[in-house]
Every structure is written in C-alpha cells, then in structure tokens.
C-alpha cells in the first residue's frame, strides 16, 4: 500500500475557553455578569417572586391607611364631628335629594330635545339625567332612614300617606313623591321591555309622572321641614318656572320631528 493511500484521521481538538476567560477579563460588564447568580442553581438563595414584591410594596400603604383612618375616627369622636354629621344627614339629605332629582328632571327635559342637540349630545344628557336620578334616590333613602331613626316620623307614616299625626298632608306628599320617583326610575331602567312589546306610549305616560313627583317633593321640602329664608323660596320658584317653560317647549307643536325622521336618525 502506497503512502498516498494511507489516510490519517484528523486529530480532535480540545475545546478552548473564550478569549476573555483565558485572558482573565475583569471588565465591569463581565464582573456584573459573574455576580448575577441563578436562584435555581443556588439552593440557599430564594427567588424573589413578583407576588411577594408587590405585597411588600403595598404593606406600608395599607398600614398608613389604617393609621390615618384610626386617627380620623378618634378626632371625629373627640371633636364632636359625629354630631355635625348626624345634623347634616337629618337636615341636608332631603335637600340634596330634592336638588339632584330637580337636576334629573331638567336634564331629562333637555335630553328630549331634537332641534338643538344632536344624537351624541342627547346621549350625554341622558347619562347625566340617569346618574343624577340614582344619586337623588340614594339621598332620598338616607333622608327617610334618618327621619325614622331620629324619631321625626314613624315607618308607618313613611310607608302609607296620611298617617303622620303632625303633618299628614305634607308628609304624605313626600311619601307619594318617593313612590313615584322609584316607579319612574324602575320603568326607565326597563325601557327596552316596553319598546319590544309596543307599549312606548304607556312607558312615556309612566315616565311623565316624574313631573308630578317633583312638584309634590317641592311642596313637601318647602313646607314640611324647617322654615327657610326668602331666597330659598325664590330659588325653588325659578326652578319650577324653568322646568315648566322647558316642558311647554318640549310639548309645543313642531318641536319634535316626525316619526319617519326619528327612525332615520336611529
């Protein structure tokens, strides 16, 4: 066999380390990479999970909130602020209920306008109308609860009109107004059910009782409670005039477009 036919297998080269390792590279970047250790490779070091880190950040905030709340409660008790809060609930909850419900009536009239407001503006007006109605009902419930709790009236007089011994008519008007406002709110929430059954006129008639409820609540608020100053009477008179004028403009002939135009808008 000739020397040309003899094949010598190539020698296997031993893997060498990177140049930086062989030269002992101690650059800051290399040192930082060496100092970072995988928690899974080091049994003595526990990994910092995201949940534990989040909890550790929020614990001081919760503690501070609890401390501030406790100090506020202690200050309120020592400073007789609870008495002021009760006084506000007793005499202010009814006023806020009447103001918010009046605000809801005004925005309800505005939301029905189709000449000055476009569809997007009417949606905004309807949202304000509904939100103020819900807020007014909340203060109305607080008003009824405070009057019963403080002994100003009984739950029988609050539930049935005309049973109050001192002011049967004025307190009864408040009871009737409360029932009407609740009925209007419920029927407004389920308006779609009336539309599917073809009873839009019935829904509109039920919703129009809000004006009766608002008028009854005005008389109840002005005459059943404490004596008010003259400017309050004038303010309610202006509000009543504004709602009346807006309602007359809404019901005026030609104010609302024809049904065919409404369908095109929708």
Does 234 fall in a domain? yes
Number of structural domains (the chain) is 1
Range of the domain at 153: 92-265
Does 79 fall in a domain? no
Does 45 fall in a domain? no
More confident residue, 78 or 31: 78
DSSP H helical ranges for 10-154: 19-22, 28-35, 50-78, 81-111, 119-149
Does 72 fall in a domain? no
Does 15 fall in a domain? no
Q: pLDDT by residue (tens digit) across 237-265?
A: 777 777 777 777 777 665 555 444 444 44
The pLDDT of residue 266 is above 50: no
Does 46 fall in a domain? no
Does 224 fall in a domain? yes
The pTM (predicted TM-score) of the whole model is 0.62
Q: pLDDT by residue (tens digit) across 66-122?
A: 777 777 766 666 656 667 777 778 888 888 888 888 888 888 888 877 777 788 888
Does 198 fall in a domain? yes
The pLDDT of residue 153 is above 70: yes
At 175, is the pLDDT very low, low, confident or very high (cuts 50, 70, 90)? very high
- Using the structure block, give the residue that is written with the tokens 């080091």: 42
CA–CA distance, 250 with 246 (Å, rounded to integer): 6
Instruction: Count how many Cα atoms sit within 13 Å of the Cα of residue 57 in the half-sphere of its side chain.
Output: 6
Residue 12 is predicted with a pLDDT of 55
Q: Are 184 and 213 in contact (CB under 8 A)?
A: yes
Q: pLDDT by residue (tens digit) across 48-61?
A: 444 445 544 545 56
């Amino acid at each position: 066999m000739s020397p040309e036919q003899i094949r010598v297998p190539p020698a296997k080269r031993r893997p060498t380390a990177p140049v930086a390792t062989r030269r002992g590279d101690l650059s800051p970047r290399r040192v930082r990479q060496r100092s970072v250790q995988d928690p899974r490779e080091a049994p003595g070091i526990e990994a910092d999970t995201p949940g534990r880190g989040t909890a550790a950040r929020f614990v001081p905030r919760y503690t501070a909130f609890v401390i501030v709340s406790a100090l506020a409660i202690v200050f309120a008790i020592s400073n007789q602020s609870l008495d002021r809060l009760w006084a506000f609930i007793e005499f202010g909850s009814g006023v806020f209920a009447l103001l918010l419900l009046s605000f809801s009536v005004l925005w309800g009239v505005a939301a029905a306008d189709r000449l000055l407001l476009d569809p997007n503006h009417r949606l905004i007006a309807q949202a304000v109308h509904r939100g103020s109605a819900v807020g007014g009902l909340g203060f109305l419930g607080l008003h009824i609860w405070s009057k019963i709790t403080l002994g100003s009236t009984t739950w029988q007089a609050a539930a049935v009109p005309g049973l109050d011994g001192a002011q049967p008519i004025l307190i009864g008007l408040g009871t009737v107004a409360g029932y009407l406002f609740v009925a209007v709110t419920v029927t407004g929430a389920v308006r779609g059910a009336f539309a599917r059954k073809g009873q839009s006129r019935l829904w509109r008639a039920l919703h129009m009782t809000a004006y009766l409820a608002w008028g009854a609540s005005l008389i109840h608020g002005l005459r059943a409670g404490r004596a008010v100053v003259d400017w309050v009477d004038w303010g309610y008179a202006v509000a009543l005039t504004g709602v009346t004028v807006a309602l007359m403009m809404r019901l005026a002939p030609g104010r609302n477009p024809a049904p065919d135009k409404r369908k095109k808008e929708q």
